[in-house]
Chain A
Amino acid sequence: MPTLLEPLARLVEAGGIVLVMIAMVAMALFSLALERGLYWRFTHRRARRELIERWTSRSEHISWSALTLREVWTRELMARLRRPLPWLKLLVALCPLLGLLGTVTGMIQVFDSLALTEVGQARAMADGVARATLPTLTGMAIAVVGLLFTTRLEQVIRREDQRLHDRMARAVEANHA
């Protein structure tokens, strides 16, 4: 096991505390994404089925109040589906910010080592430069992946909203026909 974890430890050592923070943000981001996937696959489908059943079991579907109720129900369901979206977006926005933070702290380290050691000691600066560049790289990479996921999720939710309305309308039509 230590041999498995060793590259990770070296990465942490090279990237500094900011890299650990980015890793934590990435973990939160991807676990939220996974949670959304599971929710979509299991809980949401059941809830949708129940909602459509409740709608079709109503006696009338045409009055203003019925339509309002339908609207309220669908909105609630969609709100539950959409709830972690702002947090996902926040985490995606946080990644480049943390990367920049890592860059600046790394630069501070470079200047520290410049002030302490003789000029021209490239080895002394290498540590700081690694800490400056690694967090930016990982932050950007994670932000890109997260951005892909959030846009995809938004699209799915928007389509689901329309489809839910469609299905409910169609279910009633099938009943009446």
Chain B
Amino acid sequence: MRRLLAMSALTAALLSPLALAQQSPGQAAGDAAPSLSQVLEDFRADSQAATNRDRQRLTALLDDRDALEAALNKAQARLTAAEQRRAALESQRSEQRQRLDRLREQAGNQTGDLGGVQGVISQRIGALRDDLGDSWLTLGSSVSLPERPADDALLDLDTLVALGESLAQLTAESARVVRFAAPVAGRSGELNRREVMRAGAFAAFSEGQLLRQPGNGEALAVIERTPQEISEALRAYQQGQREALPLDPSQGQVLKALTQRPDVWQRFQQGGYVGYVIVALGVLGLLVAVSQYAYLLLVSQRLRRQLRDATTLRDDNPLGRILKRFQALGEGHAPEALEARLDEALLAEQPRLERGQPLVKLLAAVAPLLGLLGTVTGMIVTFQSITVFGTGDPQLMAGGISQALVTTVLGLITAVPLLFAQTALASRSRSLVGLLEGRASAVLADHLEGRQRHPESRHAHPA
């Protein structure tokens, strides 16, 4: 029951705005009803007034028939005058056309097949202007390109002679090297008056910097980067110290390629972290090798001094130390025991001579491996960029590829000197150890023989 009440209340609340809306047009109609009928009245009155006015004008016109007649006559007279003038103009036009046709026919009769020649010539001149429009030829010389002829101009001898002259001058200009002064925009954009040299149609340069091809009416400007050796050659040529001149016959393509090519330092940086690690390890290995080699050189020098002067044993070389130990041993040992002592003493000396070799060997083996690692990481970068950007632009992949290749190169380049160093160390230390061993054994043998029998001379066979 309560529910029904609530619903009826809701319906009432919903319906009430509807009822209001239905009510309001009725109220508005009630307000506007007098004005609408009034508008209708006004309209009727207006149309009535217009009809009356027209009727009055019609009667007035009918009354003034003479005036109407005069106006009509005037208009007709104007029409005939205009028609006469039109006829005169048309006759004049046809006469002129006839004359033009006659003249054309006459020109055609006089020139014969030259019409085709003219077409070819104007086409040629156009092509020449297009080709040489941004060339160096007109720079710093009085020669100008031949003018493009008008479409209906007649071919006459002067044009042909001028064209031939101009072509000959351009050809001559392409073989000349000229010097002149012109405002040149530097790299930062400031204009300075500089001495410019132009070599034929190939290039222009100023103070060792190549110039950009001039656009129409723009000032000359230097290109972004002239390669070092080219710059030096150009400077020498401009100062008259050299006969040869570097030229770019491809109109700037090769130069652009040269300036885009990375130099050695940029290449090295392309290797990334792996490249730095490889080079750092290589430098470390070389330092170790050099210091150990210097130590070996010192030892062999001291050894040689010891060999020259066998009577006084020194402490600063391995041979002297070994022999001193023997001297300290005293008499009465079995040869086998002495040999064992000798081996022991040699073994004690060996590590110092072979120090650093394992590290250098390891680094020589690791450097190409690291290069391979760099290759793989570079490939990963490449494939990532392929995943993101697709294969459309090879430039996006270039970074990874150059990292891959540069690290391999670095690894190989590092491995080669390390291998050299390792071989040098190994062969020198081995020869030193062999020398020590031989000399110590020989001294021991001599010593034993001298003890057994008459003192035989110390064996000094050629080393």
A100 to B444, CA, bound (A): 51
Asked whether B461 lies within 8 Å of A97 as measured between CB atoms, the reply is: no
Within 8 A of B (CB), among A80-116: 83, 86-87, 89-90, 93-94, 97-98, 100-101, 104-105, 107-108, 111-112, 114-116
Contact among B260, B434, B449, B461 with A116 in the assembled complex (CB-CB below 8 Å): B260
- Closest A residue to B449 by CB, please name it: A65
- Quote the shortest CB–CB distance from A18 to chain B (angstroms): 10
- Closest A residue to B420 by CB, please name it: A90
Say whether A161 faces chain B, with CB atoms less than 8 Å apart: no
Supposing A75-B438, A112-B261 touch, asked if A97 and B445 sit within 8 A by C-beta, the answer is no
Within 8 A of B (CB), among A123-169: none
Asked whether A68 lies within 8 Å of B412 as measured between CB atoms, the reply is: no
**Residues in B neighbouring A75, C-beta threshold 8 A:** 434, 437-438
Interface size class of B (residues with CB under 8 A): 35 or more
Supposing A65-B335, A104-B412 touch, asked if A115 and B441 sit within 8 A by C-beta, the answer is no
Asked whether A111 lies within 8 Å of B409 as measured between CB atoms, the reply is: no
Contact among A73, A79, A94 with B416 in the assembled complex (CB-CB below 8 Å): A94
Say whether B54 faces chain A, with CB atoms less than 8 Å apart: no
A86 to B402, CA, bound (A): 35
- Closest A residue to B409 by CB, please name it: A104
Asked whether A114 lies within 8 Å of B441 as measured between CB atoms, the reply is: no
Within 8 A of A (CB), among B436-450: 437-438, 441-442, 444-446, 448-449
Q: CB-defined interface of A46-80 with B at 8 Å, one 1/0 digit per residue?
A: 00000000100000000111101101110110010
Supposing A86-B426, A93-B419, A116-B257 touch, asked if A65 and B406 sit within 8 A by C-beta, the answer is no
Asked whether B401 lies within 8 Å of A111 as measured between CB atoms, the reply is: yes
A86 to B431, CA, bound (A): 12
- Quote the shortest CB–CB distance from B442 to chain A (angstroms): 5
**Residues in A neighbouring B426, C-beta threshold 8 A:** 86
Asked whether A72 lies within 8 Å of B412 as measured between CB atoms, the reply is: no
Say whether A174 faces chain B, with CB atoms less than 8 Å apart: no
Contact among A69, A83, A89, A101 with B431 in the assembled complex (CB-CB below 8 Å): A83
Asked whether A101 lies within 8 Å of B409 as measured between CB atoms, the reply is: yes
- Quote the shortest CB–CB distance from A1 to chain B (angstroms): 24
- Quote the shortest CB–CB distance from A123 to chain B (angstroms): 14
A83 to B448, CA, bound (A): 30
Please give the number of chain A residues whose Cβ is less than 8 angstroms from any Cβ of chain B in the complex. 35
Asked whether A101 lies within 8 Å of B412 as measured between CB atoms, the reply is: yes
Interface on chain B toward A: helix, strand, loop, or mixed SS? helix
- Quote the shortest CB–CB distance from B344 to chain A (angstroms): 16
Asked whether A90 lies within 8 Å of B419 as measured between CB atoms, the reply is: yes
Q: CB-defined interface of B391-422 with A at 8 Å, one 1/0 digit per residue?
A: 00011001001100110110011011001100
Say whether A177 faces chain B, with CB atoms less than 8 Å apart: no
Say whether A4 faces chain B, with CB atoms less than 8 Å apart: no
Asked whether A65 lies within 8 Å of B420 as measured between CB atoms, the reply is: no
Asked whether A69 lies within 8 Å of B459 as measured between CB atoms, the reply is: yes
**Residues in B neighbouring A5, C-beta threshold 8 A:** none
Interface on chain A toward B: helix, strand, loop, or mixed SS? helix
Supposing A72-B438, A75-B438, A104-B409 touch, asked if A86 and B427 sit within 8 A by C-beta, the answer is yes
**Residues in B neighbouring A90, C-beta threshold 8 A:** 419-420, 423
Asked whether A76 lies within 8 Å of B434 as measured between CB atoms, the reply is: yes
Among B256, B394, B416, the most chain A Cβ lie within 10 Å of the Cβ of B416
Contact among A71, A104, A107, A119 with B394 in the assembled complex (CB-CB below 8 Å): A119
Say whether B80 faces chain A, with CB atoms less than 8 Å apart: no
A94 to B368, CA, bound (A): 12
Asked whether A79 lies within 8 Å of B431 as measured between CB atoms, the reply is: yes
Say whether B51 faces chain A, with CB atoms less than 8 Å apart: no
A58 to B401, CA, bound (A): 71
Say whether B336 faces chain A, with CB atoms less than 8 Å apart: yes
**Residues in B neighbouring A111, C-beta threshold 8 A:** 398, 401-402, 405
**Residues in B neighbouring A89, C-beta threshold 8 A:** 423
**Residues in A neighbouring B260, C-beta threshold 8 A:** 115-116
Contact among A69, A97, A107 with B415 in the assembled complex (CB-CB below 8 Å): A97
A98 to B441, CA, bound (A): 43
**Residues in B neighbouring A79, C-beta threshold 8 A:** 431, 434
Contact among A66, A73, A94, A108 with B461 in the assembled complex (CB-CB below 8 Å): A73
- Closest A residue to B434 by CB, please name it: A79
- Closest A residue to B368 by CB, please name it: A97
Asked whether A98 lies within 8 Å of B434 as measured between CB atoms, the reply is: no
**Residues in A neighbouring B406, C-beta threshold 8 A:** 108
Say whether B11 faces chain A, with CB atoms less than 8 Å apart: no
Say whether B27 faces chain A, with CB atoms less than 8 Å apart: no
9 of the cross-chain contacts (CB-CB < 8 Å) are A65-B446, A68-B441, A69-B445, A72-B442, A76-B438, A83-B427, A104-B405, A111-B401, A111-B402
14 more A-B residue pairs beyond the given contacts A68-B441, A72-B438, A101-B412, with a C-beta to C-beta distance below 8 A:
A63-B449, A64-B335, A64-B448, A68-B444, A72-B441, A79-B434, A86-B430, A90-B419, A94-B416, A97-B415, A97-B416, A107-B405, A108-B409, A111-B401
Question: Can you list the 10 inter-chain pairs with the closest CB atoms, starting with the nearest?
Answer: A65-B445, A64-B335, A65-B448, A90-B423, A101-B412, A116-B257, A72-B438, A68-B445, A69-B445, A104-B408
**Chain B residues engaging chain A, CB cutoff 8 angstroms:** 256-257, 260-261, 335-336, 339, 368, 394-395, 398, 401-402, 405-406, 408-409, 412-413, 415-416, 419-420, 423, 426-427, 430-431, 434, 437-438, 441-442, 444-446, 448-449, 452, 459, 461, 463
**Chain A residues engaging chain B, CB cutoff 8 angstroms:** 54, 63-66, 68-69, 71-73, 75-76, 79, 83, 86-87, 89-90, 93-94, 97-98, 100-101, 104-105, 107-108, 111-112, 114-117, 119
